[in-house]
């Protein structure tokens, strides 16, 4: 495994494999019907940016961040182990995007971080799945050579935040386009049920 990952790079992540997934991939439901994944209604272009594969050698990971479009995250650890450190949205004012090493914070360089609430610190083992709510800050580190599959999802609890960020990213014209208009109508009807 190490040889394969080393040949690829130290850490690789991509959503460009989406088209090779089984058409039944999204029929896997981890949550009850009230929390159903609404992204299945999106045009393929949007769906293709919501499922990611992460492959990395031991010691590599991704710095402190929250996901960009306000979606929830479902991350399955396929191979190896990954160390996660999480902070709730309320800690946003104390965190630094990408900069702070939450594993070993430097309070001189990042003085605000000392005010953050205690982090949720754990290891995701092979075969385990993490459901991470919208707006949670996270930092990861591969403890072994590692492969994980992540799917970002939207439902009634985060649809407003997702749509607001999607419009900021793509523009109002896109949100009113032929491909998005039926989705918007369906989501608003579902939300107001």
Per-residue pLDDT tens, the chain, 193 aa: give them: 554 444 445 555 555 554 445 455 555 555 555 457 888 888 887 877 888 888 889 998 888 888 878 889 989 999 999 999 999 999 999 998 886 777 788 899 989 999 999 999 999 999 999 999 999 999 999 999 999 998 888 888 889 988 999 999 899 999 999 999 999 999 989 888 7
CATH code of the region 2-32+45-154: 2.60.120.650
Quote the tokens at residue 161. Answer: 């935040």
Q: What share of the chain is helix, strand, coil (3-state, %, to 5)?
A: 30, 25, 40
Q: Are 12 and 54 in contact (CB under 8 A)?
A: yes
Quote the tokens at residue 35. Answer: 């929390």
Q: Are 70 and 38 in contact (CB under 8 A)?
A: no
Using CA atoms, how far residue 128 sits from 80, 137, 191, in Å, is 11, 20, 31
Count CA within 13 A, CB hemisphere, residue 71: 21
């Amino acid at each position: 495994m190490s040889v394969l990952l080393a040949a690829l790079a130290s850490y690789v992540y991509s959503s460009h494999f989406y088209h090779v997934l089984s058409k039944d991939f999204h029929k896997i439901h981890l949550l009850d019907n009230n929390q159903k994944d609404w992204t299945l209604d999106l045009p393929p272009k949007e769906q293709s940016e919501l499922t990611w594969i992460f492959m990395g050698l031991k010691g590599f990971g991704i710095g402190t961040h929250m996901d960009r479009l306000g979606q929830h995250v479902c991350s399955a650890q396929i191979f190896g182990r990954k160390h996660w450190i999480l902070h709730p949205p309320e800690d946003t004012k104390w965190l630094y995007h990408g900069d702070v090493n939450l594993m070993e914070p430097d309070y001189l360089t990042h003085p605000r971080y000392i005010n953050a609430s205690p982090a949720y610190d754990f290891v995701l083992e092979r075969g385990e799945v993490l459901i991470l709510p919208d707006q949670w800050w996270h930092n990861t580190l591969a403890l072994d050579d590692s492969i994980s599959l992540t799917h970002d999802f939207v439902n009634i609890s985060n649809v407003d935040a997702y749509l607001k960020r999607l419009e900021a990213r793509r523009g109002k014209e896109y949100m009113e386009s032929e491909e998005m208009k039926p989705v918007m109508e369906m989501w608003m009807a579902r939300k107001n049920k």
